[in-house]
Chains A and B, each alone.
Chain A
Amino acid sequence: MIYFDAGATTLEKPDSVRRAMALAVRTMSSPGRGSHPASHLAEETAFRCRSEAAELFGVPSPEQVIFTGNATHGLNIAIKALVKPGARVIISGYEHNAVTRPLYAIGDVELVIIDTPLFQPQQMVVEFETALQRGADAVICNHVSNVFGYILPVEEIAALCRKSGVPLIVDASQSAGVLPVRLDALGAAFIAMPGHKGLYGPQGTGLLLCGQTAPPIIEGGTGSQSRLQEMPETLPDRLEAGTHNMPGIAGLLEGIRFVRKMGLERLRRHQQQILSAAAEVLGKLPQVKLYEDTRKLHQTGVLSFTVDGWDCEELGEQLARRGIAVRAGLHCAPLAHRTVGTLETGTVRMSISAFNTPQQAAQLAGEVGTIIRENARF
């Protein structure tokens, strides 16, 4: 199978991730739960993972790095800390349901949606600035659209938030491991990210980088201050009730090491090379509409497209039958599709990892052409 669904999960992982997970299953128990070697090994691994994540993401202290089950988990903690009924919240028009559903669930939230066109970041900055003039309780912004790979101007938006004194939540689901993401530089209240996409860790892992503390959304054992019935005030324990996913954390640590070893610049260049290889062929097919930043300035390795006369899900299924994995539909981001005008059709999305090759991209594009031609015969 040729796998172009890294935007959902990077299926191909470094060998070191698999090895670390297998070792953790055999040797590690729970951090903070005992004086025996199995607990100590878990503690050391968890601390190394926090520390290396803190270095990669500009977090002042490893205690501000929280292990979560995924980005959605982290976003729920962050959103529920800052947004209460009656709040005014400014979001981009490219948010995932991981942001919009928690906001909907809180209820009575005045949502201001900055739904400026694709690949026009300056217009977005202007509209965020205008919206912030009326004040807000929080700004929530995707760093990169999971549908279109659009790199939102999160640095400029963060500067506006700092100037206005409005807390910022960044969804780094598609940017962590792809672009520089730094808590210290952004001054964000929270940055949430998955471990299983650009960080090459396993599913069931995620990180929440905390610029401030938050109320827990679940309570339970932490291995600390056990006589108290309130959750500890101290991070990370306050937000990490229950047993840790040690195989996941051990795998995530190796994934982070892989990203650091490869380097963000190299990983980004690789993605752009493959995206260009696909876009060059797909762009020559008259039936194909590409959602591409032709200047390559504001797009990561995510490329959405539609094909005239084809339902995107049917095209995705055709590609799957030919051994090519993509994602079709709304990508859990109906707001982003509404903003771009693809809510009714959805798109087919190819998303690239470090393990894809330009030849695979050419094969995907070639198969799309073949499917179109074969269909035209009948």
Chain B
Amino acid sequence: MEHYLLITRSVTQAQRMAAVLAGKGLRGGVLRAPTALNPKGCSYAVRVGRQELARAQEALQAAGIQPLHIYEKTEQGYREVAL
């Protein structure tokens, strides 16, 4: 299934993001980020659905939280999306 991963600075930041998204009725699952997206080693991500990225970004911006990177999961793998 295609989706986006919002890479965070810590598990706590990921949880805060998920809480903000939940407050807007968006599902944001917290997971450990794939190794390929982890140049510094071990990080967390929030997964959002393909149709929900814009709303998610808007909600996070309003809450003053910025992900480190956003990646789109496609059939070919991960592709970075401009913030």
Contact = CB atoms under 8 A, between A and B. Distances in A.
Contact of A228 (B15, B19, B32, B41): B41
B10 A236 contact: yes
A164 interface: no
Contact of A223 (B13, B39, B42): B42
Interface in B1-39: 9-13, 15-16, 19, 30-32, 39
Q: How large is the interface on B (under 10, 10 to 19, 20 to 34, 35 or more residues)?
A: 10 to 19
A51 B16 CA distance: 9
Contact of B9 (A31, A51, A228, A234): A234
A62 interface: yes
Contacts of B42: 223-227
Main secondary structure of the interface of B (DSSP, over half): mixed
A377 B11 CA distance: 67
Interface string A206-231: 00000000000000001111111000
Interface of A: 31-32, 34-35, 40, 43-44, 46-47, 50-51, 61-63, 222-228, 232, 234, 236-237
Which 5 A-B pairs have CB atoms at the shortest separation, nearest pair first?
A227-B41, A226-B41, A32-B11, A226-B42, A234-B9
25 contacts: A34-B32, A40-B30, A43-B11, A46-B12, A47-B19, A62-B12, A63-B10, A63-B12, A63-B16, A222-B10, A223-B42, A224-B42, A225-B40, A225-B41, A225-B42, A225-B43, A226-B40, A226-B41, A227-B39, A227-B40, A227-B42, A228-B41, A234-B9, A234-B10, A237-B12
